[in-house]
Amino acid sequence: MNTKEIFEDIQGRVSGVAGYEEPEVGDAWIQVDPDHWHSVARFLRDDDKLRFDMCLLVTGLDYPDEKWVVVYHLHSQPHNQRTIIKVDLPHDDEPSLDSVHDVWPAANWHERETLDLMGIQFRGHPNPTRILCPDDWVGYPLRKDYEFPTEYRGIPYERNEKI
């Protein structure tokens, strides 16, 4: 099944499926309502026709003044099919979404990375700490409004004297 067929299949069977979109080029995705995301995730994994048992990738997207988007790339090992799920969040300073680490343990580290670099909180995550940046890093580097710090712990970003 491709993403469109999957969307048509699950639309009536689970609540929270908000829509289907296709960009000009590339892959289509299914839009899911953030409040229902956890139950939809569980459904996607457990339903016999779908069996999306692998979470390949979690990505955070920042559209300033518009929305935060969390993208899930899913893969179904038994049916060899893939789909993309997007969850939109309102663009406020503290975006948060239900963690799906209990559905797909693989999402654990990806969610931490999304928190670290994009600043999206995952509710119910067992270890919501930074993963790539140091623990005391300020700001979220992949946000569009991120300003690079001039120094970190006394280490300047720019050299004063030439070598």
Partner 1 sequence: MLNPAMPLPDDPLDRDILIGAGDISTDEMYINMGPQHPSTHGVLRVLLRTDGEIVTEAHPHIGYLHRCAEKIGECLDYIKFQPYTDRMDYLAAMNNNLGYAMTVEKLAGLEIPERAQLLRVIIVELNRIASHLIAFGTYGLDAGALTPFFHAWREREEMLTLFEKICGARLTYNYVCIGGVVNDMPEGWEDMVLDFLDRFEKRWKEYNDLLTYNRIFIRRTADIGVITREDCVAYALTGPMMRGSGIDWDLRRDRPYMMYDRFEYDIPIGEGKMGTVGDCWDRYWVRMVEMKESGKIVRQAFDMLKGAEGTHKAKVPKVFKPKKGECYVGIENPRGELGFYIVSDGSKNAYRMRVRGPSFCNLSILEKLLPGAMIADAVMIIGSTDIVLGEVDR
- Cβ 12 to partner 1, closest distance in Å? 27
Nearest one of 120, 79, 118 to 100, comparing CA atoms: 120
Which residues, including other chains, have CB under 8 Å from residue 136's CB and lie 6 or more apart? 153
Smaller CB distance to partner 1: residue 37 or 72? 72
Q: According to CB under 8 A, which residues from 20 to 79 bind partner 1?
A: 23-27, 53-57, 59, 61-62, 71, 73, 75, 77
Binding status of residue 3 toward partner 1 by CB under 8 A: no
What does the alpha-carbon distance between residue 32 and residue 77 come to, in Å, rounded to a whole number?
22
Smaller CB distance to partner 1: residue 36 or 130? 130
The correct pick among 2, 15, 35, 109 for binding partner 1 (CB under 8 A) is 109
Smaller CB distance to partner 1: residue 18 or 56? 56
Smaller CB distance to partner 1: residue 21 or 35? 21
What does the alpha-carbon distance between residue 31 and residue 8 come to, in Å, rounded to a whole number?
12
* SS3 at position 70: strand
**44-47-51-53 Cα dihedral, nearest 10 degrees:** 60
Length of the chain: 163
Binding status of residue 117 toward partner 1 by CB under 8 A: yes
Binding region for partner 1 (CB under 8 A): 23-27, 53-57, 59, 61-62, 71, 73, 75, 77, 80, 84, 104-106, 108-109, 117, 130-134, 141-142
